[in-house]
Amino acid sequence: GAGVSQSPSNKVTEKGKDVELRCDPISGHTALYWYRQSLGQGLEFLIYFQGNSAPDKSGLPSDRFSAERTGGSVSTLTIQRTQQEDSAVYLCASSAPGQGVYEQYFGPGTRLTVT
């Protein structure tokens, strides 16, 4: 079956511009996660959506970062006024709590480069 997909695969943007990163989770997965992978920080949790509950945004590094999930499916991570330190690979994952015991399935990531 189809896995988690992310778009674009690569994004180059100028400092100060806004970017949107998209994630399509596995169909039927109610939980969706965003992580950031960067050289200096490793893999960091950003935000978590579970069904219709309020998302847990505790990992977002600043108020320039936001995310939404429409219709319990597709999610968009938005970074406003991008900075060079935002350059990283942004990974999305989904899971179906209650099945597979918290196993998360990851997409291929979006590589963001801020120039």
Query: For binding to another protein (CB under 8 A), which residues are involved?
Result: 4, 31, 33, 35, 42-43, 45, 48, 50, 56, 58-59, 91, 93, 95, 97, 101-109
Residue located via tokens 């597979």: 100
Residue closer to another protein by CB (options 36, 86) is: 36
Q: Looking at beta carbons only, is 74 or 96 nearer to another protein? A: 96
Nearest distance in Å: CB 84, another protein? 21
Work out how close the CB of 115 gets to another protein at its nearest, in angstroms, rounded to a whole number.
20
Q: Is the peptide bond before 8 cis (omega within 30 degrees of 0)?
A: yes
Given a contact cutoff of 8 angstroms between Cβ atoms, the answer to whether 73 and 2 are in contact is no
Nearer to another protein by Cβ, of 20 and 44: the residue is 44
Distance between CA atoms of 8 and 113, rounded to whole angstroms? 12
CA–CA distances in Å: residue 34 to residues 14, 46, 91, 96: 22, 5, 6, 15
